[in-house]
Structure 1
Amino acid sequence: MIMMIREWKDIPVELLMQILSLLDDQTVITASHVCHGWRDSISFGLTHLSLSWCSKNMNNLVLSLAPKFTKLQTLILRQDKPQLEDNAVEAVSKFCPDLQVLDLTKSFKLTDRSLYAIALGCCDLRKLNISGCSAFSDKALAYLASLCRKLKVLNLCGCVKAVSDTALQAIGHYCNELQFLNLGWCEQISDVGVMSLAYGCPDLRTLDLCGCVLITDESVIALANRCPHLRSLGLYYCKNITDRAMYSLAQSKVKNKMWGSVNGENDEDGLRTLNISQCTSLTPSAVQAVCDSFPALHTCSGRHSLIISGCLNLTSVHCACCAQPHRAINAFPHSAH
């Protein structure tokens, strides 16, 4: 039986959502005002929305849309200049309880009110980006961690006031499923906070500690021993890191391989990215040991995953790719003179 479509409202919901999936979010919002039928269909079916294109009045737009789009699971609210205020985030938290991904990058106007609202209204969050939100406190972040326990991805880059050892202890205690954490330039944290993460978040895959100038070898050793799935580690400008940390990383490959075989796991790749730029206390032998232990770390052109910028004493460190041509050349017999 062929359905006759005489008016816009007669388009089946499934077909409408397929059409809208091909359009940008700004057009989808416009489409929701065509008629009551479309508004209801979009309100019920829309799960992903980005308002990053909105350069003016984003706050009012969020306030008007949140009560309509109650099935949202992903909401991107990145801003080039701060527009969002606490009342908009509170509206999202109130009307969008299914939210799993929330991006509030550069929301400089937000205060602790927003974090408390998110914690109470969006307990199913898996991914939260509040990088650059400089007004949040560590108390509010710790409270959020205590309620949003399903977090897997958390970007706190530049949240200097919010990221303290106390906050990291809360994250390590409550967010045991965490896999990605960016703590770039959070200068207050010490080994106490990072070690809490290592002990509480064993599934950690990516950790950025760039600019965390207070941490020492103890943090890296804890991560090496407690986070067997760690694939990316950023230690840029962590000048207290010494060879002891590097040898611990190198030895962790053997430990993790043994642990994986006991548990029937096949997860042997190990570190794939390591940034030790400006870690000027490191010696070539220690860094070479790490490079030899993890074949995915490269110093060769076009594949730089072992980043050593600013460490002039480490120029002799090379990955297997660089070593093979050298060995090949040496393999040819020298002609007699």
Structure 2
Amino acid sequence: NSSVSFHIVQVFSNSDEALINKKLPKELLLRIFSFLDVVTLCRCAQVSKAWNVLALDGSNWQKIDLFNFQTDIEGRVVENISKRCGGFLRQLSLRGCLSVGDASMKTFAQNCRNIEHLNLNGCTKITDSTCVSLSKFCSKLRHLDLTSCVSITNHALKALSEGCRMLENLNLSWCDQIMSDGIEALSRGCTSVKALFLRGCTQLDDTALKHLQKHCPELMIINMQSCTMTALWFVCLAASFIHIACVFLRILEAARCSHVTDAGFTVLARVTDNTLVQLSIHCPRLQALSLSHCELITDDGIRHLSSSVCGQDRLQVVELDNCPLITDITLEHLKSCQRLERIELYDCQQVTRAGIKRIRAHLPEIKVHAYFAPVTPPPSVHGGGQRLCRCCVIL
């Protein structure tokens, strides 16, 4: 505990002549101070002149989170910190610091050129000008959070794309002035982006995802919650899965995309065996795959998938409900997927109970969800002819 550490050493250090200052070399004291938080460092700086120098040494200020002081932090504080830390500072969180503006951030960018992680979440006075300063001075920036910086526009993204080409994680949630032109510029310049958060960016249109697919091959996470996008977004996503551009994609959140219609999912239903071939080649980390209502998928496509790296080592869930061309042969192929935990087979008319029992014998822990029509459908309870009654089976 840093507070306890402070009180312990304070007992032995009431002046520059204290025993601890005489016995311990400055290098060791600096090492001790490196474990202290911001508050404790500031307290140590008040103990003596010697400790003031040690506590305020830039090497102790590589990571700073000012969130707990957000009601007090003003621009001049950020400027003073930047002058003190200089090139030592790697991570800074100004989350919720409502008084920090562009002028202070320009001074910060000029002084702290090695900054890698910067959190400006909720800094509502920040505008494009800050991104221009970051672009000019902070080329090592990898993580940038601009959540709720509502004055940010396409101009900011164009600036970042020119000077911050190492960006890997960018949060633009609720920056509702961002449009697809800005995403295009960003994707062309920052090709190493792995995570992009676009929640509430309501002005984005269908072309934004096309640019990301084309220029950002390492993209792993996309969050588009509350983006009122059209069905074409899902068309683009379907295409992305069969290109190397999404080789690392693990998480996609599209909650509240209220404009997605049946047309988008109809396009997804055009997935074929070739899609599975591409998935087997380019998506070695795939863990769960839903092919519901993909009516062109056959046993051969599943064969390619099950024999791939992801099939052998990663695949845990396969949903094949309403795939009419799937037969028991698919289940034979899936036997090689040793990590498989669940298969959905609802309305797969060519899959039999015998086929399910065989895969259960090979993978005893697997859960298979299916239902079957009886050989002779029972008469209608109303006596008006016959109706098809399916029996649900969960094995």
Fold shared by both chains (TM-score > 0.5):
yes
Taking the aligned partners of 2:237 and 2:214, their CA distance within structure 1 comes to 12
Q: Any gaps of 5 or more consecutive residues in structure 1?
A: 260-266, 275-282, 300-318, 333-337
2:280 corresponds, among 257, 278, 293, to 257
Alpha-carbon contact 1:155-1:182 (below 8 Å) kept = yes
Taking the aligned partners of 1:179 and 1:197, their CA distance within structure 2 comes to 11
CA separation of 1:84/1:246 partners in 2, compared to 1, >3 Å: closer, same or farther?
farther
Note if 1:285 corresponds to 2:293: yes
Q: Percent identity?
A: 21
Q: Which moved more, 1:105-114 or 1:54-63?
A: 54-63
Q: Which has the larger radius of gyration?
A: 2
Taking the aligned partners of 2:150 and 2:130, their CA distance within structure 1 comes to 13
Q: Secondary structure at the match of 2:19?
A: coil
Q: Any gaps of 5 or more consecutive residues in structure 2?
A: 1-16, 298-305, 320-339, 345-365, 371-391
Alpha-carbon contact 2:224-2:255 (below 8 Å) kept = yes
Q: How many residues align?
A: 291
CA separation of 1:196/1:248 partners in 2, compared to 1, >3 Å: closer, same or farther?
farther
CA displacement, residues 70-112 of structure 1 (integer Å, 9 cap, x when unaligned): 1101111111x62222222122101101100000001111122
Residue equivalent to 1:228: 247
CA separation of 1:77/1:252 partners in 2, compared to 1, >3 Å: closer, same or farther?
farther
Q: Secondary structure at the match of 1:68?
A: helix
Q: Secondary structure at the match of 1:170?
A: helix
CA separation of 1:232/1:150 partners in 2, compared to 1, >3 Å: closer, same or farther?
same
CA displacement, residues 51-74 of structure 1 (integer Å, 9 cap, x when unaligned): 111032312321221100111011
Residue equivalent to 2:90: 73
Taking the aligned partners of 1:123 and 1:14, their CA distance within structure 2 comes to 30
Note if 1:51 corresponds to 2:66: yes
Alpha-carbon contact 2:78-2:108 (below 8 Å) kept = yes
Give the CA deviation at 1:273. 10
Taking the aligned partners of 2:205 and 2:188, their CA distance within structure 1 comes to 17
Note if 1:25 corresponds to 2:44: no
CA separation of 1:188/1:76 partners in 2, compared to 1, >3 Å: closer, same or farther?
same
* Greater relative contact order (CA < 8 Å, ≥ 6 in sequence): 1
Taking the aligned partners of 1:195 and 1:223, their CA distance within structure 2 comes to 8
CA separation of 1:200/1:65 partners in 2, compared to 1, >3 Å: closer, same or farther?
same
Give the CA deviation at 1:44. 2.9
CA displacement, residues 139-190 of structure 1 (integer Å, 9 cap, x when unaligned): 12211221100001111111111x2111111111111111011011111112
Note if 1:177 corresponds to 2:192: yes
CA separation of 1:40/1:227 partners in 2, compared to 1, >3 Å: closer, same or farther?
farther
Taking the aligned partners of 1:331 and 1:85, their CA distance within structure 2 comes to 59
- The letter for the 2-side match of 1:285 is H
Give the CA deviation at 1:11. 4.4
Give the CA deviation at 1:322. 7.7
1:208 corresponds, among 223, 228, 242, to 223
Alpha-carbon contact 2:317-2:343 (below 8 Å) kept = no
Give the CA deviation at 1:26. 2.1
Give the CA deviation at 1:17. 4.1
Q: Secondary structure at the match of 2:144?
A: strand
Alpha-carbon contact 1:221-1:249 (below 8 Å) kept = no
Residue equivalent to 1:85: 101
Give the CA deviation at 1:218. 3.3
- The letter for the 1-side match of 2:58 is F
Taking the aligned partners of 1:165 and 1:9, their CA distance within structure 2 comes to 62
Give the CA deviation at 1:320. 4.3
Alpha-carbon contact 2:145-2:170 (below 8 Å) kept = yes
Give the TM-score taking structure 2 as reference length: 0.64
Residue equivalent to 1:141: 157
CA separation of 1:327/1:257 partners in 2, compared to 1, >3 Å: closer, same or farther?
closer
CA separation of 1:256/1:86 partners in 2, compared to 1, >3 Å: closer, same or farther?
same
Alpha-carbon contact 1:9-1:38 (below 8 Å) kept = no
Give the CA deviation at 1:18. 3.8
**RMSD of Structure 2 on Structure 1 (CA):** 3.6
CA separation of 1:185/1:286 partners in 2, compared to 1, >3 Å: closer, same or farther?
farther
Alpha-carbon contact 1:48-1:72 (below 8 Å) kept = yes
Note if 1:268 corresponds to 2:284: yes
Taking the aligned partners of 1:53 and 1:177, their CA distance within structure 2 comes to 32
Give the CA deviation at 1:129. 0.5
- The letter for the 1-side match of 2:235 is E
Q: How does 1:291-306 map to 2 (within 5 A)?
A: 295=315
Alpha-carbon contact 2:316-2:342 (below 8 Å) kept = no
CA separation of 1:327/1:142 partners in 2, compared to 1, >3 Å: closer, same or farther?
closer
CA displacement, residues 193-238 of structure 1 (integer Å, 9 cap, x when unaligned): 2111111100001111122222423331343222111000111122
Alpha-carbon contact 2:341-2:367 (below 8 Å) kept = no
